[in-house]
Structure 1
Amino acid sequence: MASKRFNTFKVVLASLAVVAVGYVVRTPWLPIRREIKASLGYPKDSLLNFTELTAEYGYMSEEHEVVTDDGYILTMFRIVQARNCHQKKRSPPVLLVHGLLQSSDSFIDSGPNAGLAYLISDACYDLWLGNVRGNYYSRGHIRLDPDKDSEYWKFYIDEIGYYDIPAMIDHVLEHTGFDKLNYIGFSQGSGTFLVMCSERPGYCEKVQLLIGLAPAARQFNTKSKLFRAVTQAFEVLEGQLESYGVVEIFAKGSISQEFVAFFCQLSDLTEQLCEQVLDVFDYVHSSHLGSITNETTRNLYGHFPAGTSLHNMARYGQSMKSRRFEKFNYGKEKNLMLYGSEEPPKYNLSAVTAPLVCIYGSNDGLVDTKDVEWLVKKLPNVIESMKVEDPNWNHMDVTYSQYTSDTIFPKINEYLLKYTSD
C-alpha cells in the first residue's frame, strides 16, 4: 500500500513538472505571430496590448518605463485621455495594481462598460496602472536576462513590495508633481502594498488612500482546492524544478499558455470549458451565471496568465499553511541564518497607516472572508470594510465581471471622491 501511494505521488509530481515546463518553454515558433492568430479567428481584443486595446475604445494611453533599485525594468501605463471624461483630470493621481498572474490588461479585458481602468478613467481620475516584475510587460532587467539567468526569478511578494511598488509610486509622483497619490490594489496588489509599508518606512505616507480589493495577506482559509494544490505542489517541488531550470511559471507565450488561448476560442463548447476552469479555480459555491461574459472569457485568455516566478508561487503555497502574514519560510536552519530566528518574521501590519477601504466577496475561493476579516482587525486605520451584496461575488469577478460598474465601482468612486480634489 505504501509503495502504491509512493508511486502515485511520483506520477503526480511528474505530471506537475510537465505542466510547469510547458508553461515555461519557448521555441522559435512561439509565441505565435499575431497575423496567424488573426487568420485563425482569435478575437481581436485578445491580440492587442494595453495601448492598442485602450485606443480601440477611444482612450489614449502612454507607456512608461520604471527601473527599480535592484535593476528590474517595469512597464507602467497612464490613461491620458478617457472617452467619457470631458473635464480637467482630478488630483491626485490614482495607481491601480493587478493581482497574481495578471497584468494591467486584466483591468480592461471586460471592456469599456465594466473594466475598472475604463470606469476610473471615465470618472476623470488621472489613472496609472502598474505591472510587477515577471509578467510579460515587466520582464526585463538592466543586467540579468530572464531567459538565461535564474537569478532574475528568485523573487516573491517581498521583493515586489520592497522594490516594485515604491518605484511605481515614486515614478507617478515625480511625473505628476504631487506629494501623495491614491492606491488601488487587487489581491496581490494589496498584499505587496502591505509589505511595502512594513519594510519601507515612509512610503505608506506617500499614499493618502488605500483601496484593497480582495486583499491577499494571510491565506490560511483559502477554499480553492485547485489553487491550494497547485501552489503547495510548487512549494514541495521548488528545489527539483529549479534543478531542471524551471524558474518561470505560467508565462505568456509559452506552450501551455498558447494552447489555452487557442483552445478557448475554438468553439462555444471549448469556451464553456474555459469558463468552468475559472470557476473551479476560484469559486466556493455555484457562481452567478453570466457574470463573466463569453467575450471577456475569449479576451482574457489572450492576456492571462501573465507569468510570475516559481519562488513566488511557492510562497503562496506556504501562505495557506500559516496563520501569520510572514516572509518566506526556508526552514529553521536557513531562517536562523537569514532572519536570526527559527521562524520567518511577520510583516508589521501596524505600519500600514494609510486609510484603508476594503472591498471583498463572500464567495471568494482564493481570499477567504475569514482571512480578510483577520487582516482588517490587524490594520490600524480601516475606514470601511464592505462585503459585496451579491452572495456569489468571487475573486475573478473583481477584474472580469460585467457587473463591476454596479457592484464595486460605486464604493471605489465614493472614496476616491472623498480623497480627491477637482
Structure 2
Amino acid sequence: MALRAQVVSKLIWTTSLLLLGATLFLLPAELSNDAKSYLRYPKDSYLNFTTRSTNRGYITEEHTVTTEDGYVLTVFHLRSGKKPPGALRRPPVVMMHGLLMSSDTWLDAGPHAALAYLLADAHFDLWLGNVRGNHYGKRHTTLDPQKDSEFWDFSTDEMGLYDVPATIDYVLNQTGASQVNYIGFSQGAGTFLIMCSERPEHCGKARSLIALAPATRLRHTKSLLLKLTGSQLNTYESLLSAIGVKEVFSLGGFGQKVLSFLCKYNIFRNFVCKRCIAILDSYHAGSIKPKTLRVLYGHFPAGTSVRTMARYGQALYSEGYRKYDYGETNNIKVYGTPTAPFHNLSAVHVPTYILHGNNDRLVDPADVRWLANSLPNVLERAEVDDPMWNHLDFMYSQHIRKLVLPKVLQYLAKYSEVDL
C-alpha cells in the first residue's frame, strides 16, 4: 500500500507540474522576472548578462554595435572586479558564442567553471559578442524582426561578413588596441574563418584565434537533432518562407519555455533535460552539474533564422566549407556560378589553436582534423584530456577549469602582455 501511495503521489505531482507548465506556456507574454522568482526559477536562468555578472562582483558594460548592413548587436565588456585590481592583460579578447546561443552561454556554468568568469579572474579584458538573430541581436536600423521578413534573410555567411568584423572594429576603437585575441566556440569559430575568407584585411586584426570545437564542414556529424532539423529545414526553407516562418528556436519560444520550466525539477531533469542534450550532442555522465542544467535552458536556445539552420543542413553533405547554397539559378545570380563556392580557408593566416573533444557528436573529430589540415597556420590541434568530452562541455561542464582553462591560458600567454 505504501508503494502504491508513493506512485500515486508522484503521478499527481507530475501531472500538476505539467498542467501548470501548459498554462504558463499558453500565456501570450513572457513571464516577468518577479513571476519567475515566485515560481523559483534560478536567478541566473532569467537575469540578463549584465545583472548576472555584476551580481557576482564583475565589472560589466553594455555596448551597441551597428553592422554595415544595419543590424544592431549588443556586446558586453567584462572585467574582474577583484580588489585590489590586477594588471590588465592586453590585447583585448573577443569571445563569440555558438549556434542558437548568446553571450549568456559563456556564464552558464557559473563562476567556478564558466570560461568567461575564469578568464576575467585571470585579468583578461573580455568583450563578448552576439550575432544577428539571437535575443541580443534582434534590432535593425530600418527593419522590424516582427514585421519585416527581410530581417531574417541571413545565414552564417552574413555573420562572418558583417557581425564579426563589426565587433572586432568596435573593440579596437574602444580600447585603442591594434589587434585582438579571438576565442570562438563552434559557430563562433566558423564565422571568424568566413571573415578571413571574405575580408582578409580584417584577419590581420586578430593576433591569434582559439577555436573551440570549430563548426565548418559537418559531413561526419552524429548529432540526431542536427541531422533531423538541419536537413529538413534545408529541404523546406522555401515553403517555410512562403508561409512567413523565418525565425526558429527563439528565446521565449514554446520549446525553450517548456525546458526552462521543467528542468527546475529533479523528476524531469534526468528524463527530459539530460536527454535533450544527448540527442543534440552526446551524454557525458557527471560533466554538467544539475544547477547548470537548471540555468542553461533559460538562455538556450536563443534563436536564429531558418536560413542559418538550413546552412547547417547543407554542411552535412558538403566536402568542404561552402557558402550558402541558394540553388543553381540563384547561385548564378549571387555567385556567378551554378554551385556555391567554398570559403577560402587559405586566407586564414592568423596563428590558430584548435581544441576539441573526442566524444563530440556535433562537430566530429574527423571534420576537425580536416579543418586543421585545411588551414595554413595551425600551431596546435589538441583534444581535451577526457575521452568523453563532447561539444557542449566547452560551455557547460563543471570541469572547464581543469581541462580547458589551462590550454586557453597557455595559448593566450603567447599573444598577450600585462598592461602595467
TM over 0.5: yes
Cα deviation digits, residues 371-412 of structure 1 (max 9, x gap): 000000010001111111100000000000000011111010
Change (3 A) 1:244 1:416: same
Question: Which residue of the partner structure matches residue 206 of structure 2?
Answer: 207
**Which AA in structure 1 matches 2:37?**
A
Whole-angstrom distance in 1 between the partners of 2:86 and 2:93: 17
1:419 aligns with 2:419: no
Question: Which residue of the partner structure matches residue 386 of structure 1?
Answer: 382
1:352 aligns with 2:348: yes
1:269 aligns with 2:267: yes
**Which AA in structure 1 matches 2:322?**
E
Question: Which residue of the partner structure matches residue 23 of structure 1?
Answer: none
Q: What is the CA-CA distance between 1:288 and the residue it aligns to?
A: 3.2
Could you tell me whether the CA contact under 8 Å between 1:188 and 1:216 is conserved in 2?
yes
Cα deviation digits, residues 98-131 of structure 1 (max 9, x gap): 0000001111011000001001100110011001
Q: What is the CA-CA distance between 1:57 and the residue it aligns to?
A: 1.4
Q: Secondary structure at the match of 1:128?
A: strand
Q: Secondary structure at the match of 2:150?
A: helix
Q: What is the CA-CA distance between 1:27 and the residue it aligns to?
A: 8.4
Question: Which residue of the partner structure matches residue 59 of structure 1?
Answer: 58
Whole-angstrom distance in 2 between the partners of 1:82 and 1:313: 38
Question: Which residue of the partner structure matches residue 174 of structure 2?
Answer: 175
Larger mean CA deviation between 29-38 and 213-222 belongs to: 29-38
Correspondent of 1:326 among 322, 325, 347: 322
Q: What is the CA-CA distance between 1:87 and the residue it aligns to?
A: 1.1
Whole-angstrom distance in 2 between the partners of 1:208 and 1:347: 21
Cα deviation digits, residues 320-355 of structure 1 (max 9, x gap): 011110111122222122211121010000000100
Correspondent of 2:366 among 370, 387, 390: 370
Whole-angstrom distance in 2 between the partners of 1:397 and 1:244: 37
Whole-angstrom distance in 2 between the partners of 1:38 and 1:245: 35
**Which AA in structure 2 matches 1:204?**
C
**Which AA in structure 2 matches 1:383?**
L
Whole-angstrom distance in 2 between the partners of 1:395 and 1:110: 14
Whole-angstrom distance in 1 between the partners of 2:347 and 2:26: 46
Q: What is the CA-CA distance between 1:89 and the residue it aligns to?
A: 0.6
Pairwise mapping of residues 177-196 of structure 1 onto structure 2 (< 5 A)?
177-196=176-195
Q: What is the CA-CA distance between 1:261 and the residue it aligns to?
A: 1.1
Question: Which residue of the partner structure matches residue 132 of structure 2?
Answer: 133
Could you tell me whether the CA contact under 8 Å between 2:79 and 2:124 is conserved in 1?
no
Whole-angstrom distance in 1 between the partners of 2:211 and 2:53: 24
Could you tell me whether the CA contact under 8 Å between 1:218 and 1:371 is conserved in 2?
yes
Could you tell me whether the CA contact under 8 Å between 2:91 and 2:417 is conserved in 1?
yes
Change (3 A) 1:365 1:72: same
Whole-angstrom distance in 2 between the partners of 1:131 and 1:330: 25
Q: Secondary structure at the match of 2:379?
A: strand
1:42 aligns with 2:38: no
**Which AA in structure 2 matches 1:188?**
Q
- The unaligned stretches of length 5 or more in structure 2 are 1-24
Q: What is the CA-CA distance between 1:360 and the residue it aligns to?
A: 0.3
Whole-angstrom distance in 2 between the partners of 1:362 and 1:169: 31
**Which AA in structure 2 matches 1:223?**
K
Whole-angstrom distance in 2 between the partners of 1:356 and 1:322: 23
Pairwise mapping of residues 51-130 of structure 1 onto structure 2 (< 5 A)?
51-83=50-82, 86-130=85-129
Whole-angstrom distance in 2 between the partners of 1:334 and 1:29: 38
Pairwise mapping of residues 394-409 of structure 1 onto structure 2 (< 5 A)?
394-409=390-405
Pairwise mapping of residues 4-19 of structure 1 onto structure 2 (< 5 A)?
none
**Which AA in structure 1 matches 2:233?**
F
Whole-angstrom distance in 2 between the partners of 1:130 and 1:84: 26
How many residues align? The count is: 393
TM superposition score normalised by structure 2 = 0.91
Identity of aligned residues (%): 48
Whole-angstrom distance in 2 between the partners of 1:170 and 1:192: 15
- The unaligned stretches of length 5 or more in structure 1 are 1-25
Cα deviation digits, residues 185-216 of structure 1 (max 9, x gap): 00000000000000012000000100000001
**Which AA in structure 2 matches 1:190?**
A
Could you tell me whether the CA contact under 8 Å between 1:227 and 1:366 is conserved in 2?
yes
